[in-house]
């Protein structure tokens, strides 16, 4: 299995800071944000990682990652000229992935533990995770029928039906690239990860695992502060 770390985008929710620096280089506790995603992949057993980034700060990202001191992992780079969603970024990695499965991590996520068990047990299909949040309208939210069977994932619903949201990391088998070709752009002008997971759901090959450990999506200044405080307490104990 190969890892894909997504470090593109414009970080508009963190303006004006991100007008001069890539969001994934902002400090979270004592390291650049992107280092935490790399650590999660490596601690999950991933030895080859593809980093996806793009203008205007891609050279910044490469210079900082050059200081990531772990010689046991092979890093490759893929350019995404324009932010067009997670599936579009994944598709750009197709040639480097080859016939492998993939573990996809958003570079602005902080995870409470590694995913080695899930990676070791992965066989096929798609595996994503569920975390309970206070603002589910910002995420993909599962919808269940009266028998508690999942029927779809709604992307950023105005009236979420649950506080449990679909989060990364995302594990996909190799047919993910063929399924991405079936996706169409959303109203936001992006390919949506929720719709990709819905295609796996149509094949009865989507697994969502509930997690009660820590997870942060660093899209706001508040979440940046909370994640830094959590990591400080964890590593200074």
- Over range 99-121, report the average pLDDT: 95
Structural domain span for residue 204: 2-236
The pLDDT tens digits for 161-170 are 899 999 999 9
Cβ contact 40:231 at 8 Å = no
The pLDDT tens digits for 23-78 are 999 999 999 999 999 999 999 999 999 999 999 999 999 999 999 978 789 999 99
Residue 211 tokens, joined: 């997690």
**Tally of domains within the chain:** 1
pTM score above 0.85: yes
- Over range 108-135, report the average pLDDT: 94
Whether cis (ω within 30° of 0) applies to the bond prior to 201 is no
List, in order, residues 6 or more apart from 150 with CB less than 8 Å away.
142, 143, 144, 201, 206, 208
Is the pLDDT score of 118 beyond 80? Answer: yes
> Which CATH number characterizes residue 15's domain?
3.90.550.10
């Amino acid at each position: 299995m190969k890892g894909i770390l997504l470090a593109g985008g414009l970080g508009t929710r963190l303006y004006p800071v991100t007008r001069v620096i890539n969001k994934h280089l902002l400090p979270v506790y004592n390291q650049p944000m992107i280092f935490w995603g790399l650590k999660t992949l490596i601690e999950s057993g991933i030895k080859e990682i593809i980093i996806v980034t793009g203008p205007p700060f891609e050279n910044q990202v490469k210079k900082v990652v050059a200081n990531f001191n772990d010689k046991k992992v092979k890093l490759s780079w893929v350019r995404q000229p324009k932010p067009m969603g997670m599936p579009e970024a994944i598709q750009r990695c197709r040639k480097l992935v080859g016939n492998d499965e993939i573990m996809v991590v958003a570079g602005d996520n902080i995870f409470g533990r590694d995913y080695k068990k899930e990676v070791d047990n992965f066989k096929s299909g798609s595996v994503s995770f569920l975390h309970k949040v206070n603002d589910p309208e910002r995420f993909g939210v599962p919808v269940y029928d009266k028998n508690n069977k999942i029927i779809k994932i709604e992307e950023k619903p105005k009236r979420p039906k649950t506080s449990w949201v679909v989060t990364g990391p995302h594990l996909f088998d190799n047919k993910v690239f063929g399924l991405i070709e079936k996706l169409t752009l959303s109203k936001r002008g992006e390919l949506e990860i929720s719709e990709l997971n819905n295609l796996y759901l149509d094949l009865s090959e989507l697994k969502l695992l509930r997690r009660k450990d820590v997870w942060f999506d660093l899209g706001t200044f508040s979440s940046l502060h909370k994640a830094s405080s959590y990591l400080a307490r964890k590593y200074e104990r």
